[in-house]
Structure 1
Amino acid sequence: MSLMFNPPHPGEVLKEDVIPSLGLTQAQAADQLGVSRSAFTRVLNGHAAISPELAVRLGEWLGTSAEVWANSQTQYDLWKAKKALKANRIRVVRYRSAVGGKERKAAKAASGQGRKREQHEPEHDCAVA
């Protein structure tokens, strides 16, 4: 999944595009989805995330998959997290093994992982018919 630049909150997509195209009010949409109006309004205004349960409900309601809504929320969340890291100038150091190159080779050799296995001749002949 590639990240979009400044993706919209999925609630914004619902509020600006989906609900108006269906000719519904926000209250009617919440009722049809079986969720409280206040919780749905928080999602529509970008103050709450689309939960996995709501993603399933949206998928059923709109004839899409739950993954569309869950992935949209994940993409938005990842974008926000990356933006926050940059804004706070937090530097993440890439993980490197505590064992260096020479030590790693020595450990492999000692454990036998670094050697090729010897091939042995079968102890007795097997006749192939």
Structure 2
Amino acid sequence: MAHRDSSQHPGTVLRKRFMAPNGLDADRVAADLGVPVSRLQDVLSGQRSISADMALRLGRYFGTSPLYWMNLQSRFDLHVTGKVMAGDIEREVRPFPQRVA
């Protein structure tokens, strides 16, 4: 996965890289995935994360690994949380001292 995707919600990647180039809309993809269109729209709008269930469905549908979708979500979560929590973590976490053998 390209590093530039870490700051994009997986729904954005789904829309731009998979749906738009194939002329797919949310109604069609939701029906083919077997999920309510509202659930897919929530993912596409960034209001809902990619769950393991959704990753499995997207993987089967688009011929990708479910891990691809889970990694998109994990990278996005780390990016967002890192921006918000970086200062707190820097202040609160004491690194484990490295020991020389």
Instruction: Name the TM-score class by shorter chain.
Output: 0.7 to 0.9
Rg (Cα) greater in structure = 1
CA deviation map 1:60-106 (0-9, x unaligned):
001110000000100000011100113xx312322558xxxxxxxxx
* Alignment match, 2:10: 10
Change (3 A) 1:13 1:5: closer
Identify the residue that residue 32 of structure 1 maps to in structure 2.
Answer: 32
CA distance in 2, matches of 1:5, 1:24: 21
% identical equivalent positions: 35
Q: Conserved in 2, the CA contact under 8 Å of 1:5 and 1:79?
A: no
Aligned to 1:79: 79
Alignment root-mean-square deviation, CA? 2.1
Q: Unpaired runs of 5+ in structure 1?
A: 98-129
- In structure 1, how many angstroms separate the alpha carbons of the residues matched to 2:14 and 2:5? 19
- Structure 2: 5+ residue runs without aligned partners? none
- Between Structure 1 and Structure 2, the one with more helix by share is 2
AA in 2 matched with 1:65: S
Instruction: Tell me the TM-score normalized by structure 2.
Output: 0.82
Ranked by relative contact order (alpha carbons within 8 Å, sequence separation 6 or more), the top structure is 2
